[in-house]
Amino acid sequence: MLSKLVSFILAKLNIGNIAEIINKNFLLKIPYKTISQRMISYDFPRHIFIETTSTCNLKCKICPRNRGKTLIGHMDFQLFKKIIDEAKKYGPRTFSLHLFGEPLLTPNFPKIIKYIKQANKNNAILLTTNGTLLNQEICQALVKTQVDKILISFISAEKDNYYKLTGVDKLEIVEKNIIDLIKLKKTHKAEQPIIYVRMILNKDNEDEEELFRNKWKNKQVIVETRLAHNYGGNTKDTSLRGETAQNIKRYPCYHFWLSPAIHWNGDFSICCSDWGRKAVLGNVQNQTVKQLWNSEKMKYYRQNQLKNNYKKPSICTNCDVWTMYPDIFFKHQKR
């Protein structure tokens, strides 16, 4: 029952907004921490990021993949099945199908999402995409498979700036694709996927927030904006979270207990910001998710977080992703 509830919460709610609300309301912190800790599962993580592909058709300025060498490839379907089949033993789970690539470039993507729901109809699928490839075939698959949530990520709401920041002139195509998905949902009287449009605010677009919100007002989508983070210290020049990270006392990061990431080749990392693979615990091709999730190295990293030691893994040292989520631990649990 708890697994089903957690999948529902992760699929339907905007965690970023929850963080903002919790941080401003002391009375909500105790129930939030209590519920968050009940969501922790050491058998198998409640929420996993799966990189079905590391290829991408944009060159976004804020993305770390454009600042060095990136291992390019698609996840083998048998490896994908291995992950999902292991999850079946532990009840419904939430799967975010994105990391450092555009998931809709995955060969036979409809087959991927279909398999997740076949494994457990209560599994939740969260899809983040740039929206450029959201064609009729993909939209049909999203509605038919009942993908829980699709989030279309924008780096600009203005045509010229979108081209400048992504390297492609496709803003109008993305906007049309979203409208087509809305119409398709209406035609099929479908409640899912819930459609989110998100603007990642950074130093090159922070004056566009009002334009973005007005564009999508009353369009049957959920509109949100989020400050850019620095991907484990890799993109400090575009992050808008640096000031927040400096002005509040640091606390343990949510990801170590709730949401690891699996790269396309099976590398298992502690979080979705590990672009440089500095915190890889092993590989799911030759180990199980449970083994890696409960490995001595993972336990060591968790203890470091609780002890306020952010030097190991090194990805955490200059990271500001932790500011996106409220502290889930009580004072007596930290040392």
What would the pLDDT profile of 154-175 be if each residue is shown by its tens digit? 999 999 999 999 999 999 999 9
Q: How sure is the predictor about 180, in pLDDT bands with cuts at 50, 70 and 90? A: very high
What value does the mean pLDDT take over residues 179-195? 97
pLDDT beyond 90 at 227: no
pLDDT beyond 60 at 123: yes
Domains of the chain: 2-333 (3.20.20.70)
More confident residue, 138 or 63: 138
Length, in residues, of the chain:
335
Look at residue 70 in the predicted model and tell me its pLDDT: 80
pLDDT beyond 90 at 184: yes
- Mean residue pLDDT of the chain comes to 90
Within 8 A by CB and 6+ apart from 284, the residues are 79, 82, 83, 262, 266, 268, 292
Look at residue 6 in the predicted model and tell me its pLDDT: 47
Look at residue 16 in the predicted model and tell me its pLDDT: 55
Give dist(CA 323, CA 25) in Å, integer.
16
**Is the CA virtual torsion 151, 100, 49, 76 positive or negative?**
positive
Give dist(CA 206, CA 225) in Å, integer.
10
pLDDT beyond 70 at 20: no
Half-sphere exposure of 57 (CA within 13 A, CB side): 15
pLDDT beyond 60 at 4: no
Within 8 A by CB and 6+ apart from 286, the residues are none
